[in-house]
Amino acid sequence: MRILALIGGGEWTEGCEELDAELLHGSRGKEVVVLPTAAAFEQPDRCVEHATEWFARLGATVRAPRVLQRRDALDPANVDVVRGASFIYLAGGSPLHLRSVIKETPLWDALVEAHRDGAVVAGSSAGAMVLGDPMIDPRGGAFTVGLGLVSNLAVLPHAEADVAKHHKRTFELADAGLVLAAIPERNALVRDSTGAWCCPFDGTASVWVDGEQQDFSVLPGLDPV
């Protein structure tokens, strides 16, 4: 089964060790392909350095193809790196930039193919937001098109305890039946190797449908493409 981790932000900081170690174990590899695309305007090199230092502590190396602009997502060399990965991690930053760079590109196709073949895929904050469809527009809380690795799932990262109150407009605009995943920093909603969705550690992620909090039993039909 394919492992997918949607992380609420705060990636590669204290409190994420257990999750990242489990994802690395699930990948059965020792290399993580990090896409710093969402951080293109926020010191992407520092993002890669941070990831490299973090995963070295877990016994893994990082490869980071420099996919910062759309032409980079068309580069066959970058596409090959993603296609051959066993663990792909989309860093946080701007979800709109990340989507514009990789949507409908060979690199996105390579990510989907790698995941179908068993690669672990993780996205944090912006990286988690784009993986669903629809995606929440950070400019005002309405909905826009996501990349759609998982359909009918929208991610609210950095989620506060009173998420329905703090994201009232998003909840009001959600289509009937849409699953909203509210995920705090250093927490994750994970589709594990059995195909089940769970919040594996402190359990503070939540899912909402039609304005009501639900248990994770609403999620089994939400499988990656």
The CATH number linked to 210 is 3.40.50.880
The residues, ordered by sequence, that sit 6+ positions from 79 with a Cβ below 8 Å of its Cβ are 73, 106, 107, 110
User: Above 90 in pLDDT, residue 224?
Assistant: no
Element of type H or E holding 17: helix 17-27
Which residues have C-beta within 8 Å of that of residue 104, sequence separation ≥ 6? none
Q: Is 224 inside any structural domain?
A: no
Residue 22 lies in a domain: yes
Paired with 135 in beta bridges are 144
pTM for the model stands at: 0.94
Q: What is the pLDDT of residues 20-70, one digit of tens each?
A: 999 999 999 999 999 999 999 989 999 999 999 999 999 999 999 999 999
Alpha-carbon gap, residue 81 to 83, rounded angstroms: 6
**Exposed (0-12), middle (13-18) or buried (19+): which is 41, by Cβ within 10 Å?**
exposed
Question: Residue type for 78, please?
Answer: N
DSSP 129-183: HTTEESEE-TTTS-EE----SEESEEEEES--TTHHHHTHHHHHHPPTTPEEEEE
Q: What is the mean pLDDT of the segment spanning 192-221?
A: 81
Q: Is 223 a domain residue?
A: no
Sequence letter at residue 118: G
Q: Which two tokens stand for residue 123?
A: 């996205």
pLDDT digits (tens, 9 = 90+) for 202-212: 668 889 999 98
Of 2, 219, 45, 9, whose CA–CA distance to 127 is shortest? 9
Confidence check: pLDDT of 103 > 80: yes
End-to-end alpha carbon distance in the chain: 13
* Domain assignment of residue 87, yes or no: yes
Distance CA(168)–CA(183), nearest Å, equals: 16
Let me know if residue 225 belongs to a domain. no
* Parent domain of 17: 4-218
Q: By C-alpha distance, which of 59, 58, 77, 52 is closest to 67?
A: 77
Average pLDDT over residues 169-183: 93
Question: Could you give the angle at which helices 95-102 and 106-116 cross, rounded to 10 degrees?
Answer: 90
Instruction: Compute the CA torsion angle 112, 148, 105, 125 (nearest 10 deg).
Output: -90
Contact 131, 157 (CB under 8 A): no
Structural domains of the chain, count = 1
